[in-house]
């Protein structure tokens, strides 16, 4: 059973892409985030999986995300690690209990992520305990597992350059098998966005 968790922020002025907003202002940062939301929507709408959409502030039943195709939830926890822990734990309880589950989480900051890459990650979970997609900023844009493991989210300095490396160390310490996905770029700064615009304009999508 394939299950996909999508973490998003409610698209509100001054509350999204705050690092980017330092360079382009709140309105432009919101415009960019809305574009990222639409890219994520397009990519995930074609994924063969149960889809769970987790909002950071409130569940929105009247936005661009279909209420029929996405099970809408609210993130719970004081930091990103706890919010992901709670989401994984919740989703692992859904569905049939005696069926192998493959649960993947993504965010909405990676415009390079494709439907095909997500399907590839699900396929890899047939043979590995975990799969992880590193991002250029030292974090990760995708994490998948076949068994709920909260230790992967504990004692990590989130939004730092060491998130990916520390997660790998935790996997190896627990003797989990894992497979790396391609390195992709998250959109956090104006340089990230300009690079993404060049990629889109070149038709490399």
Q: How confident is the model at residue 205 (pLDDT cuts 50, 70, 90)?
A: very low
Reference 170, options 124, 142, 129; nearest CA is: 129
User: Where exactly are the structural domains of the chain?
Assistant: 2-200
Collapsing DSSP states into helix, strand and coil, what is residue 101? coil
Tens digit of pLDDT for each residue in 105-146?
A: 999 999 999 999 999 999 999 999 999 999 999 999 999 999
In this predicted structure, what is the pLDDT of residue 188? 83
On the CB side of 148, how many CA atoms lie within 13 Å of its CA?
Answer: 13
Task: Round the average pLDDT of the chain to a whole number and report it.
Answer: 93
Q: Which residues contact 68 (CB under 8 A, 6 or more apart)?
A: none
Q: Give the orientation angle of helix 115-124 with respect to helix 26-45, to 10 degrees.
A: 60
pLDDT digits 0-9 by tens, 179-196: 999 999 988 888 888 888
How far lies 187's CA from each of 1, 60, 84, 117, 148, in Å? 30, 23, 20, 18, 28
Q: How many percent of the chain have pLDDT more than 90?
A: 80
- Please give the class, per CATH, of domain 2-200: alpha beta
50: enclosing H helix or E strand: strand 50-55
Smallest CA-to-CA distance from 128 within 179, 82, 94, 80 is with: 179
What pLDDT is stored for residue 96 in this prediction? 65
The 10s digit of each residue's pLDDT in 31-72 is 999 999 999 999 999 999 999 999 999 999 999 999 999 999
Counting beta carbons within 10 angstroms of the beta carbon of residue 56, is it exposed (0 to 12), middle (13 to 18) or buried (19 or more)? middle
Give residue 198's pLDDT.
80
State CA 42 to chain mean position distance. 14
Which residues, at least 6 apart from 100, have a Cβ–Cβ distance to it below 8 Å?
A: 1, 146
User: Cα–Cα distance between 96 and 50 in angstroms, integer?
Assistant: 12
């Amino acid at each position: 059973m394939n299950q996909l968790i999508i973490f998003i922020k409610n698209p509100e002025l001054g509350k999204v892409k705050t690092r980017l907003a330092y360079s382009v202002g709140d309105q432009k940062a919101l415009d960019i985030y809305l574009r990222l939301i639409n890219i994520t929507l397009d990519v995930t709408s074609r994924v063969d999986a149960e889809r769970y959409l987790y909002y950071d502030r409130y569940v929105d039943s009247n936005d661009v995300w279909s209420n029929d195709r996405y099970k809408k939830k609210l993130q719970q926890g004081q930091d990103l690690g706890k919010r992901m822990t709670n989401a994984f734990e919740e989703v692992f309880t859904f569905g049939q209990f005696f069926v192998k589950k493959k649960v993947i989480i993504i965010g909405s900051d990676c415009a390079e992520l494709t439907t095909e890459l997500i399907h590839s990650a699900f396929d890899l979970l047939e043979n590995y305990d975990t799969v992880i997609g590193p991002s250029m900023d030292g974090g990760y844009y995708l994490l998948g597992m076949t068994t709920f493991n909260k230790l992967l989210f504990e004692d990590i300095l989130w939004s730092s350059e060491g998130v990916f490396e520390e997660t790998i160390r935790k996997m190896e310490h627990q003797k989990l098998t894992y497979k790396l996905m391609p390195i992709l770029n998250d959109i956090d700064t104006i340089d990230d966005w300009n690079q993404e615009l060049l990629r889109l304009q070149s038709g490399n999508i």
